[in-house]
Chains A and B, each alone.
Chain A
Amino acid sequence: MKLDLLIEIGMEELPSSYIKPAAAEFSKKLTSTFNERSILFEKSVVFFTPRRITVLFRKMEDYEKRMPKRIYGPPADTAFDNNGKPTTAAIGFAKSYNKVPSDLKIAIKKDKKVCYLEIKEKPKQTKKIIKEILPAIIANLTFPKKMRWEESGLEFARPIRWIVLLFGKNVIRFNIAGVTSSNSSFGPRFKGSKKIVLSDASSYERIMEKNYVISSFEKRKKMIKSGISKLLKSSKTVIEDTRLFDEVANLVEYPTVFKGEFDKAFLSLPQDVLITAMREHQRYFAVLGKGKRIEPIYIGVSNSLDDNLKEITKNHNKVLHARLNDAKFYWLEDLKKPPGERIEELNGVEWHRGLGTVFDKTMRLVELSLYLVKLLNRGEKDTIKRGALLSKTDLVTNMIKDGKEFTTLEGIIGREYALKSHEKKEVAAVISEHYLPRFPQDALPSRIESAIVGVSDRIDTLVGNFLLGEIPTGSIDPFGLRRCANGLIRIIDEFKIRFEFKEMVNKNISLYTSQEDISIKVNNEETVNRLKEFLSNRLSTYLTSLGIRYDITDAVFFVYFNDIYEAIARIKALNEEKDSKDFERLVIGQRRVANILRGVKISHKEVNEAFFDCREEKILWKKYDEINGKFSESMEYNKYKKAIKSLLSFRPHIDNFFDNCLVMTEDVKIKNNRISMLLEIKKLFDSFADFSLIVLEGEGREEGKR
């Protein structure tokens, strides 16, 4: 018989970010257990609100499906004698399962014939299995934080207060954390959490909705969306914020959308402050009007019906008014002291244990940025210097320091304060943009000045942590160094920022060691090497995300790393040529060269043209001279595609050489001369990438080759 199975865990309000993942995990674990136990069902549907996580399995079999179980016994040659008659071993085996020797069957197991019996077991009732498995599945659901609340000591995100467990029309009873399952659910709090008796599993969604619980997340979101479009004129939109949207939909069981307003006077606060004040604490959507300018209205979502919406809105307005008042208080207090006067104060803020204060970091940042400006000869020096100097000053403003809802404005509020104290707008941009990108899809800085300070900041963070040996391993990366490195790589790539990696790190280390309150043991070479390894892994990941194969990446890293931008540029150029017709032959040719050279031990000698005696080797050597010249010129001007093109033009000459001239000839002089020539050619190729590491079409890439 097929029945619908309904499981609802009723709780006190779960944190909104916990709900969706927990529901998904619950459904996944149940499904996989049912699959393991061969309990068939048609499909499963997941529902959740702050107070319930529900899974409904449609048309589930009331018995598990059991395949006959095989029980293996003695090997066939022990079980039967030469005449095919069962031995005592066979009789004994059969008897122990209430069978006779004629029931024995033979299977091949590990190349041997073995006897087995098929035992049919009575299938278990689905309801019994559910009772068995459910407590452990519930108890083992994962949450970011768990709590205890009653005697059994069960840990869950918030207290479990009821469980509905219905199979068809019948209740399956079990106990967990002082709760016994039943057919009673409860309604929303604004309706007094009234008891809702569910007579059967299948009508769950409908009955709950009738009792003002919208159990479907998607439906709640739809209601909110249509509510918003009803309230706003077409010239106005709520700010786009999917995270907030999901959060709000998971803060209510029955969403009712309302439009609130605030005093126009607050529009004098920076737009980002207004948006943050609405979003971070009150979970309101800011509304943008013409020209993306913020309007003195907002959209909220109430966990109630719309009976008393006017009063509810009025009350919400009052709360926002107080919040904005608070923001204004911070803003006005902070304006009393311009960023330029806050630099000393950074001495009181520890940046990182063992690595001094934010003041120390700022000083290094200024030096590193200036070093880069000089090197690159790009960007406006004074802007960079001032920007770096002020970049962290917002950490000691009230807006950020208090650690409340405005901390997400780090950098942004620094920009606003800088503008208010008449810093140049380019300097202000550096303050907010040097943090960009904060995450993979985030925007990049808009100008080179910000990029330079951003690169310096990230290098300084990486170098400092590596000096302390705080290197990310596996999933452990408490200081977000991977994210830091990813940002660094993106900026370097997009802004074409070139520097000698080793020298930059050494410069940074010397800045650390010259600071009085920092005493760390330093091993420059080790730090450089470990950072190189770490960054080349990050680079590989970055390039893979751009669709570049790791063998191409590796071919370049193997011979070259020192200027990260150049490494990326070489890899990109190589990648573009990988499908050209000469490429494959060239790689094969380079492998031949590498193979021949692997066996030989001769000291390097000048190539002597007098020893040439094969036409193709003369041509090859002539071409080498030409190509070498072109290649070096291209490299000097950073024209990597052109450089590869010249290497590719080697292809026919190398092929001809191998086809017509024998390297391992008997005449030692001629042989050694040819080897010297090949060494020169390999050196030329290796100065770009190790082509022999590239995997060709159809060769398959071995995992773990790296």
Chain B
Amino acid sequence: MILRLEKFWADYGCIIMQPYNSEVGAGTFNPATFIKVIEDKPYKTAYLEISKRPKDGRYAENPIRFQQFYQFQVVLQPSPSSVIDIFLKSLKFLGIKLKNHDLRFVEDDWESPTLGAWGLGWEVWIDGLEITQFTYFQQVGSFNLKQIPAEITYGLDRIAMFIQKTDSVFELEWAPGILWKDVYKESEYEFCKYNFEEANIDMYQEIFEQYKKEAERLLEKALIYPAYNYVIKCSHIFNLLDARGSISVMERKEYIAKVRRLSKRVAEKKREKTKGE
């Protein structure tokens, strides 16, 4: 499936990138999206992203919710007018017969407070199952974009379930004769246990502050990518602490504000640099 999507979008003219090598909450966090779209220039990319959402874990008991998702991310900047048709063509390319299903675009105003980003778009539903998020970015890093990108985020686990007609992710055939549960069930459960019960709160609170300082220091030196690397780490730590239940609602706002300030500064630095070029 991943290979097919890579082929489809490579043929369309996208640069095929790779997953980021640090925990991210969504493909949007990958600098291949976040930092690149700030340049506000024509740009097309597609890549796999393994997204970590500690809070969504369900101890491998819920058939479609887990703490780790496979996403396939496409960014087309600026968005072509036929972008939805191209996207639907890619679903056909994966073997989904659209005319036999209940296809719907359900409004979804996407917002990532920690990235200072928002956009309008949809959840794409097929027979009631959300399989993709489709967003026209309006603002990233608190900066209003001119060349509006379309971001397409496929939920691969769910699309695979849909194609293979399985009732749960556990039964997905991962490779001939090997199911998802053979590959991931153990680690899924253990990570849930870790995220909800075992993650060392003191340690994470401390390294959050350290990473934040590091990001700030690097920003002073206009080292954008390394600084952003620490912003991503801060964001993930925040998600972990949140899942662990150690953050009160008020503290939650503060954490989000801290990460947003950092990502906004990354965006500003990147803007300055882009203008200077």
Chain A interfacial positions (CB closer than 8 Å to B): 12-16, 50, 145, 147-151, 153, 157-159, 161, 178, 189-193, 251-252, 282, 300, 302-304, 307-308, 311-312, 315-316, 318-322, 325-326, 329, 347-350, 357, 396, 401-402
Contact = CB atoms under 8 A, between A and B. Distances in A.
Given A302-B102, A304-B101, A312 B84 contact: no
Nearest to B63: A322
Nearest to B196: A333
A67 B100 CA distance: 58
B100 A145 contact: no
B74 interface: no
6 contacts: A251-B104, A300-B128, A311-B100, A315-B127, A316-B128, A348-B248
B122 A303 contact: no
Closest 7 CB pairs of A and B: A348-B248, A315-B127, A15-B107, A13-B105, A302-B102, A316-B128, A308-B100
A191 B99 contact: yes
A73 to B, nearest CB: 53
Given A311-B100, A326-B62, 16 more contacts: A14-B107, A147-B138, A149-B136, A159-B81, A159-B136, A178-B81, A190-B99, A190-B101, A304-B101, A311-B127, A322-B64, A325-B62, A349-B248, A357-B250, A396-B249, A402-B55
A579 to B, nearest CB: 53
A53 B139 CA distance: 28
B8 to A, nearest CB: 18
A14 B107 CA distance: 7
B79 interface: yes
B249 A189 contact: no
Contacts of B102: 190, 302-304, 312, 315-316
Nearest to A302: B102
A149 B129 CA distance: 27
B109 interface: yes
Contacts of A315: 101-102, 126-129, 162
A698 to B, nearest CB: 55
B65 A322 contact: yes
A306 to B, nearest CB: 11
A192 B62 contact: no
B207 interface: no
B24 interface: no
Contacts of B251: 348
Interface in B98-123: 98-107, 109, 119-120, 122
A278 to B, nearest CB: 11
A316 to B, nearest CB: 4
Given A148-B138, A149-B148, A325-B61, A12 B162 contact: no
A349 B103 CA distance: 40
Interface in B240-277: 248-251, 253
B121 to A, nearest CB: 8
B58 A349 contact: no
Contact of A149 (B79, B85, B101, B106): B79
B62 A329 contact: yes
B254 to A, nearest CB: 11
A302 B128 CA distance: 9
Given A148-B148, A150-B148, A16 B128 contact: no
Contacts of A159: 81, 136
Contact of A145 (B64, B99, B103, B109): B109
Interface of B: 55, 58, 61-65, 78-79, 81, 84-85, 88, 98-107, 109, 119-120, 122, 126-129, 136, 138, 146, 148, 162, 167, 248-251, 253
Contacts of B65: 322, 325-326
A378 B136 CA distance: 58
- Indicate the member of B122, B127, B250, B251 with the most A CB atoms within 10 Å: B127
A153 B145 CA distance: 10
B103 A189 contact: yes
B58 A145 contact: no
- Indicate the member of B63, B103, B128 with the most A CB atoms within 10 Å: B128
Nearest to A17: B107
B101 to A, nearest CB: 6
Nearest to A325: B62
Contact of A192 (B58, B64, B98): B98
A293 B251 CA distance: 42
A189 B136 contact: no
B157 to A, nearest CB: 12
- Indicate the member of B81, B102, B129 with the most A CB atoms within 10 Å: B102
Contact of A319 (B122, B127, B138, B248): B127
Nearest to A315: B127
Contacts of B250: 348-350, 357
Contacts of A147: 119-120, 136, 138, 148
- Indicate the member of B88, B104, B146 with the most A CB atoms within 10 Å: B104
A460 B253 CA distance: 25
B129 A325 contact: no
Given A13-B122, A16-B107, A193 B129 contact: no
A466 to B, nearest CB: 24
B135 to A, nearest CB: 10
B23 to A, nearest CB: 21
Contacts of B106: 13, 251
Contacts of B61: 325, 329
Contact of A348 (B148, B162, B249): B249
Contacts of B79: 149-150
Contacts of A148: 136, 138, 148
Nearest to A320: B128
B77 to A, nearest CB: 12
A401 B122 contact: no
Contacts of B148: 147-150
Given A303-B104, A315-B129, A320-B128, A326 B58 contact: yes
A361 to B, nearest CB: 14
Contacts of B162: 315
Contacts of B88: 189
A316 B130 CA distance: 11
A304 B103 contact: yes
Contacts of A325: 58, 61-63, 65
B122 A190 contact: no
A150 B78 contact: yes
Contacts of B119: 147
B180 to A, nearest CB: 15
A190 B128 contact: no
- Indicate the member of A50, A159, A326 with the most B CB atoms within 10 Å: A159
A358 to B, nearest CB: 9
Contacts of B98: 189-190, 192
B93 to A, nearest CB: 14
B103 A190 contact: yes
A150 B100 contact: no
A190 B100 CA distance: 7
Nearest to B150: A149
A418 B44 CA distance: 54
Nearest to B106: A251
B241 to A, nearest CB: 13
A303 B103 CA distance: 6
Contacts of A347: 248
Nearest to A311: B100
